[in-house]
Amino acid sequence: MNIFRIFIFSLLLSGVAITAYALNRSEVEKNLICYACPGEALNIDRCSGGNQMRAEIDRRLALGEDKQTILNFFVQQFGEDILTVPPQRGFNLVAYAAPFVALLIGLVIAGMLIWKWGAAGRSGTGAGEHDAESEALYRKIEDQVEDELKKLEDD
């Protein structure tokens, strides 16, 4: 409880200054692909085609345009495949949702398995941890027998 109080106290003590970010070119660049080098993000690319795009971004930033307006301009010019982040609509939503759906399914299956194994453990019907040892011992004996048989054959 004391920890909780300290946490709340710290929150109250803290100021209200929220980290503010001035929009710079690289934040816009990250979201665009160089039109001259398909597949390569503009922030990585250094070709002359990319330089034209960078100059355009600089010009628009100087005009005070926000990130989305600048991105919209490039989408108008080159289409949606100029973006590194697919717009969140239509089929593209699958890209955003699939990892989390997969995670959810995985967590549910894992939860069910653990529940099942837990139930088996409580009722004492599951395999014990001695199984690995006994099986390994069995294999060791099997190997010894195989080795001895081979020696006999060789003789």
Partner 1 sequence: MVTFGNLSQSAAFITGLSAMFLLLTGLMRNDLRFIEAGRRALAGLAVFATMAAFALSWLFMTDNFQVEYVASYSDRALPLFYKATSFWAGQKGSLLFWAWVLSLYIALVTWNTRKETTRKNTPYIYLILAGIVSFFFLLLITVSSPFELLQFMPKDGKGLNPMLQNPGMIFHPPTLFLGYIGFTIPFAYALAALISGRLDPDWLKKTRRWNILSWIFLTIGIILGGQWAYVELGWGGFWAWDPVENASFIPWLISTAFIHTSIIQERRNIMKVWNMSLIVLTFLACIFGTYLVRSGILQSVHDFGATGLGGYFLVFMIVAALGSFLLIAESYSELKTNHSLESLLSRESTFLFNNVILLAIAFSTLFGTMFPLISEMVTGKKLTVGEPFFNMVNTPLFLLLLAITGLCPLISWRKASINNLKHNFLLPFGLALIGGAVLFTFGIRELYPLLAFTLSLFVSATILLEFIGGARARKKLTGEGLLLAFPKVIWKMRRRYGGYIVHFGIVLMVVGITGSTTFKLEKEVTLQRGQSMTIGDYTLQYNDFKSFQDRNRTVYAATLGVTKNGKPAGDITTERRYYINAKQPTTEVSLRISPKEDLYLTMPMIGKNNEITIKAAVNPLLVWGWVGGVFMVLGGIMAIIPAGSRRQTA
111-130: which residues touch partner 1 (CB under 8 A)? 113-118, 120-122, 124-129
Q: Which residue has the tokens 């239509």?
A: 90
Binding to partner 1 by CB under 8 A, coded x per residue (else -) over 65-84, reads: --------------xxx-xx
Rg (CA), the chain: 31
- For residue 33, give the 3-state DSSP assignment: strand
Q: And the tokens for 123?
A: 């009722």
Q: How far apart are CA 80 and CA 1, in angstroms?
A: 52
Minimum CB separation from partner 1 for residue 23, in Å? Answer: 11
* Closer Cβ to partner 1, 30 or 56, answer by number: 30
For residues 7-21, one letter each, b for 16 or more C-beta atoms within 10 angstroms of the residue's C-beta and e for the rest, the string is eeeeeeeeeeeeeee
Judge contact between 50 and 36, C-beta under 8 A. yes
* Closer Cβ to partner 1, 66 or 138, answer by number: 138
* Closer Cβ to partner 1, 69 or 136, answer by number: 136
Does 138 interact with partner 1 (rule: CB under 8 A)? yes
Does 61 interact with partner 1 (rule: CB under 8 A)? no
Binders of partner 1 among 8-27, rule CB under 8 A?
Answer: 10-11, 13-15, 17-19, 24-26
Minimum CB separation from partner 1 for residue 64, in Å? Answer: 18
Judge contact between 35 and 82, C-beta under 8 A. yes
Minimum CB separation from partner 1 for residue 82, in Å? Answer: 9
